Amino acid sequence: MNRYIVSKAMKLMMRRWKLHLLFALQMAAGVATICACASIHHTAALQYRDLMAQIEGTVWDVTAAADRPTGRPPLDLDQYAKLKAAYPEASLPFCIAHPVHYTTDGNDIRTAWFLFASDDFLKTVLRADKSGFERGSAAYAGDEVRAVLDGRRTIVHRNIPIESDAGGELILADGARLSVLPMEELGTNLVRFTHQDLENVPLDRVALLPLASYYPHFKPEDAGRFKLSIKPGLQADGEEAPRSVMEMLGLLLEWNGKDYNYYVRTFQQRMLLSYEEIRGYASVAAAIAGLCLAIVLIGLTAVVGIMFRRRRRALAVCSALGAGRRSLLAELWLESSLPSLAGGITGAIACSWYLSAFVHTVTIRQSPAIMAAAAALSLLPGCLAAGTLALGIRRLKPLEMLRGDREWR
Amino acid sequence: MALIELADGKKVYRDGDRESVIFDHASLRIDKGEFVSITGRSGSGKSTLLHILGCMDRLTSGTYRFKGAPVSAMADGELARIRGRHFGFVFQSFHLIDEFTALENVEAPMGYAGVPRRERRERALELLRRVGLADKAGHYPARLSGGQQQRVAIARALANGPEVIFADEPTGSLDRANGEMIEELLLELNRQGTALVLVTHDGRLASRAGRIFVLEDRPAAGEMKPPKMR
């Protein structure tokens, strides 16, 4: 582009600085609004997506509480099997956890956990695929637990239905025998639990026993030890997962509602709903902002158009002085685009500053791409006007302009 | 070789189905350094012809050659280049750019022709000096009188050292004193070797031309000899 054209456009801009400043300020305000709305929308969308991902991978923990002591467990083996059959995609880690307190050589009191667990529990929590474990006769025990069972540690309080242990076998109160295998045979890479109340319990202080072996020994006070987790299948997205969980709770209440209440952690669900609401507001805000921008763009394009129509005679003079149509168009485009681009960039920067400095209740995630796109929008009026002008300039007849006897259409 | 050669030129304006013939069978030859005036009644197509000769409009039919090159076949960019480098224009209404100072107005044609800034400035100042307006270089058109504006317009027309100056009623908007001053300035330029094509109603001014080209109201045109006054 001829340097003269650039300097002429700049000069004309400076001479009409009031008009261009007004133009730039309008554009800055429009871009700042768009930018803010788009950033809020972007933030809500990202957080919603993150939350969806969290919920998709979330294990929903269900606990039970009895209104009065009852001889029925909160979830029996048949019901558990029915749940699994009804939701084959879901994973239902289930365990009944019994703590056993023992003393070490140094007389410290420690706690070991005897977990009557389901196959899904092993699979989900320990990544161990031991199909049939929950109804089998094998148990897995960590080193510390085996030391307890061997009598190398002294049990302070025995709250489990284990009668005795001998020669690598556990004998339960009903006479059932379980062979005890080292925990390492599960092949797990875990060192500590990261599940429910067992968080950070070292694996060597854990014994895993088949779920079915517990039921003959159920006592009403054990109801609180039932820990059912629900992990809706991978196919269930953030919106479907809560629905599945609620359906399962409905089944539990249908079966055992007379004796038990069930509780599920719903924090994520509440968050999800609140983000859905925020996203809804943000979408409305973005739509309004988009409409405003469209109006601003149309208005500014018309202003640019009028501004240049008034100069049609000057264009004709320039044409007579040797300016080609391309030069004229470049000149007009520069003159209209530079102030609006400056306004657009100012608006994007102002929006970024405002969101960082004054919006503390929500962390707005600002995206350079959104800022750049919003600033680039400011070029639209120039381009739209330039497009119209290009058509006008194609038909430009210097003669008619200079004589002023016909309107330039 | 003639500087400008128009043969059997015809110009028709179309407005929907209506056609109006502005002129027909117009033939004209202008040599280097010549002074030709174009006269005729209002609406006879004088200005149209001038703008066609100045490459600002095109013939409907006929041929127009500038220095032997067929202008009718040229693209818009090429026509703009010819206007900028070989022609100068002086209009009745001056047509200065309001936002530019006198100096910047004179610089404009050189800018479009790609003349470097320093050279442009020096030459523009020299031209303003030549028309007696060096002291008004920084003035905007609104602060100049009609005569001064027309002198700036003449300086601007001379910016790229044109071979032809096209003047469309250059004294039409001026009082007598200023009109005469502009007239003398144009004639002086012609004496220095620049061809001058002048459209005017003023018989006295037209009579000072070497040849007069008369456009009649009817769609026909003919050349007449210079009047006796010469």
Burial class (CB in 10 A: 0-12, 13-18, 19+), A373: middle
Pairwise CA distance, residues B92 & A402, whole Å: 9
Mean pLDDT of A351-366: 82
Highest mean pLDDT among A237-246, A277-286, A372-381, B117-126: B117-126
Provide, rounded to the nearest whole percent, the portion of chain B with pLDDT above 70: 94
pLDDT at position A60 over 90: no
The amino acid at residue A179 is: S
Give me the residue from B57, B111, B112 closest to A397, CB to CB.
B57
C-alpha angle A194/A199/A203, rounded to 5°? Answer: 75
- Please say if the pLDDT value at position A405 is more than 60: no
**Where is pLDDT greater, at A402 or A22?**
A22
Q: Please state, as a whole number, how many other Cβ atoms lie within 10 Å of the Cβ of residue A100.
A: 22
**Whether the predicted pLDDT of A39 surpasses 80:** yes
Are residues A69 and A11 located together in one domain of the fold?
Answer: no
- Domain assignment of residue A97, given as a range: 59-230
Per-residue pLDDT at B50 exceeds 60 = yes
* DSSP 3-state of B225: coil
Which of A162-171, A196-205, A267-276, A291-300 shows the lowest mean pLDDT across its residues? A267-276
pLDDT at A109: 86
Q: Does B114 touch chain A (CB under 8 A)?
A: yes
Q: A322, B56: Cβ pair inside 8 Å?
A: no
Identity of the residue numbered B128 = L
Same domain, A35 and A92: no
Residues A83 and A203 in one domain: yes
Which candidate, B194, B140, B203, places its Cα nearest to that of B171?
B203
> Quick one: residue B165, left, alpha or beta (phi over 0 = left, psi -120 to 50 = alpha)?
beta
Which residues from B are below 8 Å from A311, CB to CB? Answer: none
Domain identity same for A32 and A115: no
Strand partners, B42: none
A167 and A226 share a domain?
Answer: yes
> CA-to-CA distance for A121 and A140, rounded, in angstroms?
13
Measure in Å the smallest separation between the Cα of B198 and chain A Cα atoms. 16
Q: Is residue A197 part of a domain?
A: yes
- pLDDT for A197 equals 67
What are the residue ranges spanned by the domains of chain B? 4-224
Express as a percent the part of chain B with pLDDT over 90: 49
Q: Show Cβ contacts of residue A206 under 8 Å, excluding neighbours closer than 6 positions.
A: A112, A113, A115, A141, A142, A145, A183, A193, A198
ipTM: 0.83
* d(C-alpha B88, C-alpha B167), whole Å: 8
Exposure string (b/e) for A214-229, b if CB count within 10 Å is 16 or more? beebbeeebbebbbbb
DSSP strands (E only) in B180-224 = 195-199, 211-215, 221-224
Confidence of residue B30 (pLDDT cuts 50, 70, 90): very high
Residues from chain B contacting residue A397 (CB–CB below 8 Å): 56-57
Look at residue B76 in the predicted model and tell me its pLDDT: 83
Shared-domain flag, residues A45 and A82: no
* Mean pLDDT on B26-42: 90
Chain A residues inside the 8 Å CB shell of B99: 11-12, 15-16
Give me the pLDDT at residue A254, please: 92
Tell whether A25 and A141 lie within a shared domain. Answer: no
Instruction: Count CA within 13 A, CB hemisphere, residue A181.
Output: 15
Q: Does A123 touch chain B (CB under 8 A)?
A: no
**Are A109 and A165 members of one domain?**
yes
3-state secondary structure A54-108: HHHCCCEEEEEEECCCCCCCCCCHHHHHHHHHHCCCCECCEEEEEEEEEECCCCC
Q: What is the per-residue pLDDT across A108-154, written as a single tens digit (0 to 9) for each?
A: 888 889 999 999 988 888 888 888 999 999 999 988 888 888 778 88
* pTM given for the model: 0.61
Please say if the pLDDT value at position B194 is more than 90.
yes
Q: Which of B47, B83, B98 sits opposite A403 (nearest CB)?
A: B47
Highest mean pLDDT among A227-231, A299-303, B2-6: B2-6
> What is the pLDDT at residue B125?
95
B79: which 2 tokens? Answer: 């026509």
pLDDT interval class at B38 (50, 70, 90) = very high
| pLDDT tens column, A268-287 | 656 666 677 777 777 787 78
Closest C-alpha to A65, from A225, A181, A207, A197: A225
CB A252 within 8 A of CB A262: yes
What mean pLDDT do residues B119-139 have?
93
pLDDT, tens digit, for every residue of A250-266?
999 999 998 999 888 65
Of B57, B113, B156, the CB nearest to A399: B57
- The residue type of A205 is R
CB pairs under 8 A between A and B: 84
Task: Say if CB A125 and CB A229 are below 8 A apart.
Answer: no
Query: B152 pLDDT band (50/70/90 cuts)?
Result: very high
Please report the pLDDT score of residue A14 as a whole number.
Answer: 85
Tokens 């007696």 map to which residue?
B132
Give all strands (DSSP E) within A173-284, no chain letters.
Answer: 177-182, 206-210, 226-230, 260-264
pLDDT at res. B219: 47
Confidence at B221, pLDDT banded by 50, 70, 90: very low
| CA gyration radius, chain B | 18
Question: In this predicted model, what pLDDT tens digit does every residue of B59-83 receive, in sequence order?
Answer: 999 999 999 999 988 988 889 899 9
Q: Are residues A394 and A350 in the same domain?
A: yes
Q: Is A301 on the interface with B (CB under 8 A)?
A: no
Asked if residue A20 and residue A67 are part of one domain, the reply reads: no
Which chain B residues are Cβ-neighbours of A406 within 8 angstroms? none
The reported pLDDT for the residue numbered B163 is 94
Q: Is A114 helix (H, G, I), strand (E, B) or coil?
A: strand
Among A230, A262, A282, residue at a domain's last position: A230
Res B178: pLDDT = 83
Among A230, A260, A285, where does a domain finish?
A: A230
Contact (Cβ atoms closer than 8 angstroms) between residue B198 and residue B230? no
What percent of chain A has pLDDT above 90?
12
Task: Write phi, then psi, for A337 (nearest 5 degrees).
Answer: -85, -35
In A, which residues are within 8 Å of B160 by CB distance?
322
Give the closest-approach CA distance of B112 to chain A in angstroms: 6
Contact A135, A80 (CB under 8 A): no
Residue that the structure tokens 């805000």 belong to:
A285
Are A321 and B56 an interchain contact pair (Cβ–Cβ within 8 Å)? Answer: no
In a domain, A144, yes or no: yes
Whether residues A137 and A21 share a domain: the answer is no
Q: Do A323 and B84 touch (CB under 8 A)?
A: yes
B136 has a pLDDT exceeding 70: yes
Q: How confident is the model at residue B225 (pLDDT cuts 50, 70, 90)?
A: very low
How do residues A64-100 score in pLDDT, each as one tens digit?
A: 888 888 888 999 999 999 999 998 888 898 999 888 8
Cα-based angle B139, B144, B148 (whole degrees, multiple of 5): 110
Distance from CA of A324 to the nearest CA of B (A): 5
Distance between CA atoms of B204 and B227, rounded to whole angstroms? 10
Name the average pLDDT for chain A. 80
Best mutation target, A10, A313, A321, to test chain B (most B CBs within 10 A): A321
How close, in Å, is residue A393 to chain B by CA atoms?
11
The pLDDT confidence band at residue A382, using thresholds 50, 70 and 90, is: confident
Sign of CA pseudo-dihedral A382, A387, A389, A393:
positive
- Answer yes or no: do A148 and A205 share one domain: yes
pLDDT at B26 > cutoff 70: yes
Of the candidates A230, A262, A297, which is a domain's last residue? A230
User: Is A365 inside a domain boundary?
Assistant: yes
**Does A323 sit within 8 Å of B80, measured CB to CB?**
yes
Averaged pLDDT, B12-33? 87
Q: Is the pLDDT of residue A237 over 70?
A: no
The verdict on A403 touching B (C-beta cutoff 8 Å) is yes
> CATH top-level class for B4-224?
alpha beta
pLDDT class of B35 with cuts at 50, 70, 90: very high
Identify the pLDDT of residue B229. 32
Q: Which pLDDT score, from 0 to 100, does residue A110 have?
A: 87
**Count of domains in chain A?**
2
Give the pLDDT of residue B124.
Answer: 95
At residue B206, does pLDDT exceed 80?
A: yes
DSSP A364-409: ----HHHHHHHHHHTHHHHHHHHHHHHHHHHT--HHHHHHT-S---
